[in-house]
Structure 1
């Protein structure tokens, strides 16, 4: 049986495209997808305002790593929990966020001393936690150009992410980030330990990622929107 709600969404999307003067895609993956549908799309990447990021460094543990995002299967939270079972006791994982798997996380941390669930946190609190962490991990099964990853790059906190979607646009493996296969808790653990044990690699990746994220700053992306508006008016 055809899902009527699905048909409604498809038709609504088509109508929205007809009404719009321009359609922008925030990632190359989205650009390719909508272009194949016959829609004229302009690629304008997602952006952050680097200068406006909250200040501060919230380092609670000597070896602190962090996940900040939606607590859902597609964001890889179950992969993270499986990995956390085998983390050395002196490596502390902070989990920030909310979502459908929140109860699973709450139950999990009751039995593991080096995993700390902080629930939903504002950006003013999350950014210092990211800046105070040695690594940020985000093993999503699907991803666009994630604001959290852009913010972590701007904080000079190295990232381990999955080789999917927008992540493949953001990162060059072993240069601006670490890319792993989704759903592979053993590989995630291996890369966490490799990064923790190689300060030179962490520092090199942090510098390269910070340089790379500059093109996603609103000072640059904003100009792309201005250029598009001028093109539409001409």
Structure 2
């Protein structure tokens, strides 16, 4: 029997700079490993085939409208050469010019910011057609789903919360003892939304309360100028404590998690938080904000610790409490490991493919 042909469209692939990039890598790898489908990837990053998939590129630097037109042209070109049975868009924005194609499609919603920001009316209008014509829309959290503009014409079951997941096999649990130093990890690119300033202020407070050497690793490709943060670091005398590490491979990020005592993500807005899952799988206690989709991962005081947005003093307070209570820190790490098992990508993949298989 001829294999069904899936066309997977993703802006991010080849890097793990964010949740959609991690999802793309896990999804493509899983499809190819199953050996059940022919897979063609349309990627916004200049990458070569990693797992034996066919790959085409468009320029992700283009705005969403131009990029959408390029994607539509590529889909038509690919479909003429080998009939596509289904298209799966990693983000609904990629589908804005492809809703009238005579090919069934599915799409993900990974973020809610465009539905509440300055351009919300534009994206509500554009997303309406994408969602209406999609076979199903996979959403990363209940919080995101609540912010999606849903018209009466939509079938309510069309929006399905699948969550996001990680490949647990890529991580190993390692509980690090605290001796004379503390390693703190932050992973993210949008420093404003991820609350990096709050972390810096929290570390400043922490340094005044403990005698340990403090080292903070900031991992990720900054989307904004970092002068503001470097000036704050200098003002607080934290030059030797905080390091901007830049973009790292997924293997390197695993090592960062394994060598950390705390993972801190004081996000002001967060649709889900894949980096939190990575920390839980690594045995690194998480301190994060009670914002967006984060509470769907972290049970406060059980599998991690939650703070309110902007409360940098609580970042320091929680770390001091955990430094002074090894049993509590270990219990949170163990509970976090149990919690993250619910977000194993294998289960999410099977759930998504069950829906895709139902129409091809």
TM-aligned CA distance change 1:101 to 1:57, over 3 Å: farther
What is the SS of the residue equivalent to 1:48?
Answer: coil
In the alignment, is residue 44 of structure 1 matched against residue 162 of structure 2?
yes
Residue 226 (structure 1) shift:
2.7
1:130 counterpart (234, 253, 257): 257
Q: Is 2:289–2:306's contact at 8 Å kept on the other side of the alignment?
A: yes
Residue 10 (structure 1) shift:
2.1
Matches within 5 A, 1:74-223: 74-88=193-207, 90-97=213-220, 98-110=222-234, 111-112=237-238, 113-223=240-350
Residue 35 (structure 1) shift:
7.5
In the alignment, is residue 19 of structure 1 matched against residue 146 of structure 2?
no
1:219 and 1:122 map into 2 onto residues whose CA distance is 21
Larger radius of gyration: 2
Residue 56 (structure 1) shift:
9.8
Q: Is 2:216–2:243's contact at 8 Å kept on the other side of the alignment?
A: yes
What is the SS of the residue equivalent to 1:87?
Answer: helix
Residue 128 (structure 1) shift:
0.7
Aligned residue pairs total 230
Deviations 1:169-225 (A, max 9, x none): 111111000000010111111112112221111111111111111121112111211
What is the SS of the residue equivalent to 1:183?
Answer: coil
In the alignment, is residue 67 of structure 1 matched against residue 183 of structure 2?
no
- TM-score, scaled to structure 1: 0.87
What is the SS of the residue equivalent to 2:322?
Answer: helix
Q: Is 1:109–1:117's contact at 8 Å kept on the other side of the alignment?
A: no
Q: Is 1:58–1:128's contact at 8 Å kept on the other side of the alignment?
A: no
Tell me what 1:9 maps to.
123
Tell me: higher relative CO, structure 1 or 2? Use CA pairs within 8 A at least 6 residues apart: 1
Residue 6 (structure 1) shift:
4.7
- TM-score, scaled to structure 2: 0.58
1:229 and 1:99 map into 2 onto residues whose CA distance is 34
Tell me what 2:351 maps to.
224
Q: Is 2:172–2:282's contact at 8 Å kept on the other side of the alignment?
A: no
1:65 and 1:87 map into 2 onto residues whose CA distance is 11
Q: Is 2:173–2:283's contact at 8 Å kept on the other side of the alignment?
A: no
Moved more, 214-223 or 87-96: 87-96
Query: Superposition RMSD on alpha carbons, in Å?
Result: 2.7
Deviations 1:45-72 (A, max 9, x none): 111111134999999x831111111242
1:56 and 1:158 map into 2 onto residues whose CA distance is 11
Deviations 1:50-95 (A, max 9, x none): 1134999999x83111111124221111111211222226222222
TM-aligned CA distance change 1:58 to 1:190, over 3 Å: closer
- The unaligned stretches of length 5 or more in structure 2 are 1-116
Residue 105 (structure 1) shift:
2.7
2:174 and 2:285 map into 1 onto residues whose CA distance is 17
Residue 101 (structure 1) shift:
4.7
TM-aligned CA distance change 1:83 to 1:56, over 3 Å: closer
